[in-house]
Amino acid sequence: MGQIPIRNLYYLFLYAWDRFPEGKAVNVGTDSGPDLPNLLARVLVSVTRNLMRRGLDRGYQGIVEELDAPRGRFLLGETVKRNSLIAGRIVCAHDDLSTDVPHNRILKAALRTLARSPDVAPNLTVDLIALCRDMNEVTDLPLSRDLFRPLQLSRNSGHYGLLMKVCEMVLVLALPDDKGQSSRFLDIMEDEQRMSVIFETFVRNFYRHEQIKFSTGSKVIEWDAFCAEPGHARYLPEMLTDVTLRSPDRTIVIDAKFYKQTLVSRMGGQPKIRSSHLYQLLTYMKNMERLSGADGEAEGVLLYPSVDGQELRLEFQLAGHRARVWSLDLMRPWQEIHNQLLSLVGLPAALHGSGLSGQAAA
């Protein structure tokens, strides 16, 4: 995949993460990229600084320690085991309000992981290290999947949502070196499988937030099949659309595909649409024909990203259904990307879109 502007890449992630309120205020610059380690570092530095100004979240942590005077619950067995009475002390268990909570441990671990990476710019490394020092009360732990297991954000800690998404991406993409002392980062744009999930979620959340004409979601389509033995039906695979847009008079099924090459050719011949993608889209539409209203006449769209400045705009009638193949040029200014997605479903372009788009146009 080519060089996507870093701001566009960031907005794509924000839609996929469903994190607009926190994310749109972060200035990530306009550099070409995708330089993902520095993007993640910029976001963490900016959002963590704001967090530190309002104060790190605190929670009650259970502490067992020797004390000169009783506090909390007296632990007789532990006191005897440690011979604490000889020194005139006792062992007690009590709860203290502390910043050493799971979400702060994750944040500090991600900051330190980025700070140790040779892929991160020196000025950002300095900022990352300084933030780690400011979190001196938070336990130093290596960034791992285990850190995320006890994570539960409450209403009071919901503002950590964007930070946790960024930290999770740091975990997913960081590759430790042989000595475990630093990390290099995967080029996520080369990972078609992971980017397919992100691109699909981006498209679905974009339509959920940026228009009100259609209801938006993924839809399970039942097979138009008869089974003489009812038990045989459970062996049919599930048909789940990436994005289904529905209004009283129109249903659009969008299959979002993230591939480095939109079209393929054999032996240097004419580039063609990938047959498996077209068959999949046609299967969705054919199995919806027995449904009532607009669902029975569903339209289909294959939507691909591109970075070569070329816009693919193909349209067909397949078995009586409208089918289109579009590419979305991620090199364009974000407002144009926004308007292209609205145009795809027949909605007028917005001068300043809601959500992220207004921020991008500013």
> pLDDT tens for residues 316-328?
999 999 999 999 9
- How far apart CA 82 and CA 71 sit, in angstroms, is 17
Do residue 184 and residue 320 come from a single domain?
no
| Per-residue pLDDT, 359 | 47
Q: How many domains are there within the chain?
A: 3
Q: What is the mean pLDDT of residues 126-152?
A: 94
| Per-residue pLDDT, 361 | 42
Following CA atoms 318, 311, 302, 349 in sequence, which dihedral angle do they give, to the nearest 10 degrees?
Answer: -100
Do residue 104 and residue 203 come from a single domain?
no
Does pLDDT of 360 surpass 60?
Answer: no
Count other C-beta atoms under 10 Å from residue 229's C-beta.
6
Confidence of residue 178 (pLDDT cuts 50, 70, 90): low
| Per-residue pLDDT, 338 | 93
> Residues with Cβ < 8 Å from 330, sequence gap 6 or more?
4, 5, 8, 9, 12, 305, 306, 307, 337
Q: What is the mean pLDDT of residues 209-236?
A: 93
Residue 86 in domain: yes
Which of 167, 189, 211 marks a domain boundary? Answer: 189
- What percentage of the chain has pLDDT greater than the value 90? 59
| Per-residue pLDDT, 301 | 98
> Residues with Cβ < 8 Å from 94, sequence gap 6 or more?
62, 63, 71, 72, 73
Do residue 165 and residue 218 come from a single domain?
no
What residue numbers bound the domain in which 181 lies?
Answer: 6-58+100-189
| Per-residue pLDDT, 7 | 85
Do residue 88 and residue 149 come from a single domain?
no
Do residue 248 and residue 316 come from a single domain?
yes
Give the predicted TM-score (pTM) of the model: 0.83
Residue 1 in domain: no
Do residue 134 and residue 215 come from a single domain?
no
Confidence of residue 282 (pLDDT cuts 50, 70, 90): very high
Which of 156, 189, 222 marks a domain boundary? Answer: 189
